[in-house]
Structure 1
Amino acid sequence: MRILVIGGTGLTGRKVSQKLAEAGHEVVIGSPSQGVDILSGAGLAEALAGTKVVIDLSNSSSPEDETALNFFRNAAKNLIPGEKLAGVKHHLVLSIVGTDRAQYIGYLRAKKEQEDQARASGIPYTIIRSTQFHEHITTIINVQGNENETHVSSVDYQPIAVDDVAELIVRFALEEPKNAIVEIAGPEKDAMTRFVSQYIDIKGSVKQLIADDNDRYMYFDIPKDLLVPLGDFYTGSTRFEDWLRSH
């Protein structure tokens, strides 16, 4: 089956593309470096020709409110009509757990717009909302602190490994469209402070963890449970400590 992976050169996209190719599918990489630009439309018709499934892993160049919103809005103007013309049978979007519960955050408003475009497109779809990746832990440590310390809240956290995310994306892509939102998360739920502390201990970081209970994440005030699923979800298999020791 011919499958277009938008954002196929990114961290998740590379793994998804590799898994699909190993399963015997014809994978088309949708990225400007491969001659496919969803913002200008360049190369898109050729990439979509004969494609049955589109996996949208695209992302804006910045999480800034208007930049992200304009990116997803303009991408949809090219991608959705192109998919309809090509007869695409399944459109998948990778989104974020909690997207609809914190619409005061600009980037989540942009992701909600991307989800809404998929739902309204008339193309059979699956929206996959994921929790934060294991690989994101270094960003938390670096952004929420300085050279000597990192300030971390005890909000609920349930990270998932990118390898597990890719495996689940491939699974859903090869199944019938859900025409719904599904959520995915890691196998362990705990306070964010526990995961950061574990990282610092195992990696031998010189930074000191300053724990607090102010329910903040990346400088945003958030609900304590924003970053975890509230209902049913599909579970990755990689425990955080195992991921740490293997990286």
Structure 2
Amino acid sequence: MKIVVIGGSGLIGSQLVALLTNAGHAAVAASPRTGVNSVTGEGLDLALKDADVVVDVANAPSWEPQAVLDFFRTSARNLGKAEVAAGVRNHVALSIVGTDRMPGNAYFTAKVAQEEAIEAAGVPYTIVRATQFMEFLGGIADFGTDGTTVRMGDGLFQPIASQDVAAFLAQVALEAPRNGTIEIAGPDRAPFAEIVARYLKSTGDARSVVTDRDALYYGGHVEELSLVPLGDARIGRISLGQWLSQANVE
């Protein structure tokens, strides 16, 4: 089976291409590095020729509100048109748990626009919404830092390892399209501040972590269940402790 991975050179995409290739599929890493640009359309027609499945894990180079919106909306529309022309039978896209529950977060708003464009494209699809990656915990802490204190919103957090994300996407790429959404998450659910504090302690970071109901998450206000699955979800194998050990920080 030919499976084209848009964003195939990134954190998730590179792992996904390796998994699919090892399983015997013709996995194509499509990204600007390989001459394929889903925003400009460069190289799309050639990359999608004879493709059975497209998995979109591309990430925006800028998180400025208008730029990130334009990136995801334009990319999804271009992919949809190219997929229809190529006869692609299944489109899988990586999105975010809670992306429709935090309108103040410009990145989440852009992902909603991406999902809407996917639904309108006319190609059978599955949208995989993931909780935030464990690999992003350091950046999340940095964003919430005020002096020597990290301020986290008053909500629950359930991060997932990128390795599990790639594994789930590899499964979904081989399943029949749902024309709907599934959610994936890590096995550990705890207050946001508790998970970030554990990460910082494991890295030897002396910053203190406090819960602050007014703290914003990339511009959005965090409620108790803003960032965790509300219903059934596929749960990853790698716990936070295992991931910290693998990363040599615990």
Aligned partner of 1:82 in structure 2 is: 82
Q: Distance in 2 between matches of 1:237 and 1:3?
A: 25
For 1:18-37, what aligned pairs fall within 5 Å after superposition? 18-37=18-37
Report the aligned-residue RMSD.
1.5
Question: 3-state DSSP class of the match of 1:76?
Answer: helix
What TM-score, normalized by structure 2, do the two folds share? Answer: 0.94
For structure 2, which runs of at least 5 residues remain unmatched after alignment?
none
Specify whether residues 34 and 16 from structure 1 end up closer, same or farther in structure 2 by C-alpha distance, changes over 3 A only. same
1:119-161 Cα shifts (integer Å, max 9, x gaps): 1111110000010111111011111115633222341101110
Normalised to the residue count of structure 1, the TM-score between the two structures is 0.95
State the number of aligned residues.
247
Question: In the alignment, what sits opposite 1:227?
Answer: 227
- 2:19, 2:200 → 1: CA distance? 31
Checking the alignment, whether the CA contact within 8 Å between 1:7 and 1:13 is kept in structure 2 is yes
CA contact (8 A) 1:198 1:241 kept: no
Of the structure 1 ranges 195-204 and 115-124, higher mean CA displacement relative to structure 2 is found in 195-204
1:69-117 Cα offsets, whole Å, 9 max, x none, are 1112222332111101111010011000111112233222211111111
The residue aligned with 1:181 is 181
Residue 160 (structure 2) pairs with residue 160 (structure 1): yes
Q: Is the 8 A contact 1:144 1:219 kept in 2?
A: no
Cα 1:222–1:152 change in 2 (3 A) is closer
| Kept after mapping to 2: 8 A contact 1:133/1:161 | yes
Provide, for residues 190-227 of structure 1, a one-character-per-residue CA deviation record: whole Å limited to 9, x for no partner.
10111112112222112222333446323532222110
For residue 243 of structure 1, what is the amino acid of its counterpart?
W
In structure 1, C-alpha distance between the alignment counterparts of 2:39 and 2:180, rounded to whole Å: 26
Contact persistence 2:154–2:223 (CA under 8 A):
no
CA distance in 1, matches of 2:236, 2:196: 19
Question: CA-to-partner distance for each residue in 1:11-32, whole Å, 9 max, x for gaps?
Answer: 0111111101111111111111
CA contact (8 A) 2:2 2:26 kept: yes
2:123 alignment partner, SS class: coil
Q: Which residue of 1 aligns with 2:63?
A: 63
SS of residue in 2 equivalent to 1:92: strand
Kept in 2: contact 1:152–1:210 (CA 8 A): yes
CA distance 1:74–1:10, shift in 2 (3 Å): same
By how many angstroms is 1:178 displaced?
A: 1.2
- Once residues 226 and 215 of structure 1 are traced to their aligned partners in structure 2, the CA distance between those partners, rounded to angstroms, is 13
SS of 1:15's equivalent? Answer: helix
CA distance in 2, matches of 1:211, 1:68: 28
Q: Which runs of 5+ in 1 are unaligned?
A: none
What residue identity is the alignment partner of 1:209? V
Preserved contact between residue 153 and residue 223 of structure 2 (Cα < 8 Å): no
Relative to structure 2, which stretch is displaced further, 143-152 or 97-106?
143-152
Cα distance in structure 2, aligned partners of 1:10 and 1:124: 25
